Structure 1
Amino acid sequence: MPVLTRLIPSPVVVDIRAGALDDLAGLLADQRISGSGNLAIAISGGSGQALRERLASVLPGADWYEVCDGTIDSAVQLADDIKGKRRYDAVVGLGGGKIIDVAKYAAARVGLPMVAVATNLAHDGLCSPVSTLDNDNGRGSYGVPTPIAVVIDLDVVRGAPVRYIRSGIGDAISNISCVADWELSHRVTGESIDGLAAAMARQAGEAVLRHPGGIGDDAFLTVLAEGLVLTGISMSVAGDSRPASGACHEINHAFDLLYPRRSAPHGEQVGLGAAFAMHLRGAHDEAGLFATVLRRHGLPVLPEDLGFTIDEFVRAVEYAPQTRPGRFTILEHLDLTTDQIRDAYADYAKTIRS
């Protein structure tokens, strides 16, 4: 009888620990990603310059490219600059989400492997097969190969603004709601579900949700970083963002589109959206647990915590299904009217306050 298996796109190496950045050159050589040190390294113009000064002496063969923003134009420009320079072994994205997304897209465009060196844990995009980039129509998601390596230095992560870590917590926890939406769609519409991808995403979220530690603990930061990496791999397994994108992400996109100058970090909005979505599906105990954990880590659980009124939140929830046409979540399933959303929010707010 033949043994059937499948190949899972995943990084060759994942290095999550304090001091990992100092061993970057050795890791790339040992894993045969870049023995020559011929690297194209994308950095930001701010904190990226300090990292360049720190690493320049141990990466003498690298060329450094400053990325000004997270737009598709910047990603195309980076690809053009890399292509016209010299032959590189790999592209390294050294920075936060925007830098990594730009580097992923540019690497795909020039046909080089990409190494993600994350300086914060704001969201699960650091290891996903997607680049989220701003364009003339707002923001788009572009399919790219999974990074060949992921390096996360906990010392560097702790030096980033704490709000970035909180955002990552919200994004990771939201996986549980996203998978519940996927399973709902499977039951109601017959959409196929990948059990392995769902398991990976859900367990990544559960590990963060139920960890007793806090933002200042290396043990907790390691679980959070691992959870974000696993979430990215789950999307590679599924072939799209379904394991980590549900009603909570539709609500997040609605905030971004309706209130572009006031929207909060991605993970803060999806964390709130996930707690509300759990309440909508009748999982009130789980919604309460979400709210308790989010509060413990300093994340918002009510729209006023983000600077939005109840009316603005209701409008965002009502608009949310339009942000992902064809995606079926608890929002599409219930198809609530404006007054029903308002009543559901009042019940949610009462439940999590009690």
Structure 2
Amino acid sequence: MPLLARTVPSPLVVEVHPGAVAHLGDLLADGRISSGGEVAVVVGPGIGKEAAEQARKGLSQAEIITISAGTHSDALALADKLKSRNFDAVIGIGGGRLIDTVKYASFRQGLPMVSVATSLANDGIASPVASLDRDGHSISYGAHIPIAVIVDLDFVRRAPIRQLRSGVGDAIANLCATADWQLSHIATGEAIDGLAIAASRSGAEAVLRHPGELTDDDFLSTLANAHILGGTAMAIAGTSLPCSGACHEIAHALEEHHPGAATHGEQAGIGGLFATYLRGDLPLFAEMAATMKRHALPRTPSDIGLTVDQFATAVAYAPRTRPGRYTILEHLDLDVSALRARITDFVDDLT
């Protein structure tokens, strides 16, 4: 009987625990990523500098580069800087915007990238996607999945609590994304990948049902692992669909219409909760709503300073943010008036 198998793209090294940054040099050597420490360590103006100094003890040949992060032009500027030496790898230490900037710059230069997360606001720490601002829009660029993912819980615990809440919203929104992908398969015949769905859903469900508080090490480990599984799911599938459905369409629409109203993960959480309500999956809706309430995430338009009308307008616009994607929004194809009525019922059920 023939044995069929496939190669699953994933990081070579994954470390999630307190004090991980101090052992970065050993981790890279043990993983055969860099034995001599000939690496670029890229940080932003924040906590990444402190982490880089800890890491430098085991990376004596490292060059530390401080950048501004988050835009396509930032990534291109970093890519030019990486031409200065023959680096073994590029290490990005910081939050999601820094990680995505380094991810895309290293991809442009054909260098392996090590993701060292100091916050858990979204799944960018391990994904093959870099979300960068360009001409006023958030655009997702394909990149290689990080060759290693390091999460130092000592640094993550010090991140603003809102970043951790954002990470919870982004993680549990994957339950909406996978449901949308399965809906597309039924309605349009779009191919799905069961392994990618299993990876994405298992991480999201672990966060959804974990009884711990936001700053507990065990909860933070679960959240970090959920983001790593989400990133791996996207690499397995070769698409962002395991982690991006109506939830992220709504998140991107809210960002375009009302920039700064909420973090990306908070927007994805609200979007995923409302899309789950539209889908009629009331048991999951109740469970998501309870978890979001327990962790003090926003759940309704008013929680992020928006009216029902403003939210309805953004949701009606949401499918335009990802043309060609089929989610519950495209499936129902509700106009603003119909959305307004559904949103009113949604809010009533939450209050």
The bucket for the TM-score relative to the shorter chain is over 0.9
Q: Secondary structure at the match of 1:8?
A: coil
Aligned equivalent of 2:253: 254
SS in 2 for 1:276: helix
Q: Is the 8 A contact 2:23 2:58 kept in 1?
A: no
Q: Tell me the residue number matched to 1:151.
A: 150
Once residues 55 and 6 of structure 2 are traced to their aligned partners in structure 1, the CA distance between those partners, rounded to angstroms, is: 38
- Equivalenced residues, count: 351
Matches within 5 A, 1:284-299: 284-299=282-297
Q: Is the 8 A contact 2:107 2:143 kept in 1?
A: yes
Which structure 2 residues correspond to residues 1-354 of structure 1 after superposition, within 5 A?
A: 1-83=1-83, 85-260=84-259, 262-353=260-351
Structure 1 counterpart SS, 2:157: helix
Q: CA deviation at 1:32?
A: 1.0
Cα deviation digits, residues 74-95 of structure 1 (max 9, x gap): 1111111111x21111000111
Question: Is contact 2:26–2:58 with CA below 8 Å preserved after alignment?
Answer: no
SS of residue matched to 1:159: coil
Q: Deviations over 1:85-140 (max 9, x none)?
A: 21111000111111111111111111111100000000001100011111125221
Partner letter of residue 272 of structure 1?
A: I
Contact 1:10/1:148, CA 8 A, preserved across alignment: yes
| One-letter amino acid of the counterpart of residue 261, structure 2 | S
Q: Which moved more, 1:52-61 or 1:240-249?
A: 52-61
CA distance in 2, matches of 1:75, 1:338: 37
Give the match's secondary structure for 2:73.
Answer: helix
TM-align CA RMSD: 1.1
- Does the 8 Å CA contact 2:52/2:93 hold for their aligned counterparts? no
* Whole-angstrom distance in 2 between the partners of 1:336 and 1:235: 29
**Structure 2 SS opposite 1:232:** helix
Mark the runs of 5 or more structure 2 residues left unpaired by the alignment.
Answer: none
Following the alignment from structure 1 to structure 2, what is the Cα–Cα distance between the partners of residues 162 and 331?
31
Equivalent residue of 2:293, what SS? helix
Residue pair 2:39, 2:87 contacting (<8 A) in 1 also? yes
Instruction: Please give the secondary structure, in 2, of the residue aligned with 1:327.
Output: coil
Equivalent pair of 2:44/2:98 in contact (CA under 8 Å)? yes
Q: 1:108·1:145 contact (CA, 8 Å) conserved in 2? A: yes
| Structure 1 position 70, deviation (Å) | 1.1
The farther-off stretch of 56-65 and 16-25 is 56-65
Q: Is the 2:93–2:115 Cα contact (8 Å) retained in structure 1?
A: yes
8 Å Cα contact 1:128/1:146 also seen in 2: yes
Aligned mates of 2:140, 2:168 — CA distance in 1: 22
Instruction: After superposition, give the CA deviation of every residue in 1:164-211 in whole Å (9 maximum; x if it has no partner).
Output: 111010011001111111111111111111111011111111111011
The secondary structure found in structure 2 opposite 1:115 is: strand
SS of 1:315's equivalent in the other structure is helix
Deviation at 1:21, TM superposition (A): 1.0
TM-score normalised over the length of structure 1: 0.97
Q: Is the 8 A contact 2:99 2:115 kept in 1?
A: yes
Instruction: Tell me how far 1:350 sits from its aligned partner.
Output: 1.6
Give the CA deviation at 1:43. 0.3
Structure 1 gap segments, 5+ residues each: none
Q: CA deviation at 1:58?
A: 2.9
SS at match of 1:34: coil
| Matched position secondary structure for 1:104 | helix
Where 1:61 maps in the other structure, the secondary structure is coil
CA distance in 1, matches of 2:310, 2:282: 23
What CA distance in whole angstroms lies between the structure 1 residues aligned with 2:56 and 2:205? 39
Alignment-mate amino acid for residue 203 of structure 1: S
Q: Is the 8 A contact 1:115 1:147 kept in 2?
A: yes
Preserved CA contact (<8 Å) 2:132 2:140: yes
SS at match of 2:173: helix
Most deviating of 5-14 and 280-289:
280-289
Could you say what secondary structure the match of 2:58 adopts? coil
Q: CA shift at 1:339, angstroms?
A: 1.6
The Cα shift of 1:264 comes to 1.2
Looking at structure 1, the residues matched to 40 and 314 of structure 2 have their Cα atoms a distance apart, in angstroms, of 40
In the alignment, is the contact (CA less than 8 A) between 1:275 and 1:288 conserved in 2? no
One-letter amino acid matched to 1:37: G
The question of whether the paired residues in 2 share the 8 Å contact of 1:115 and 1:148 is answered with yes
Cα deviation per residue 1:220-255 (whole Å; 9 max; x = unaligned)? 111110000000000001101000001111100101
Identity of aligned residues (%): 51
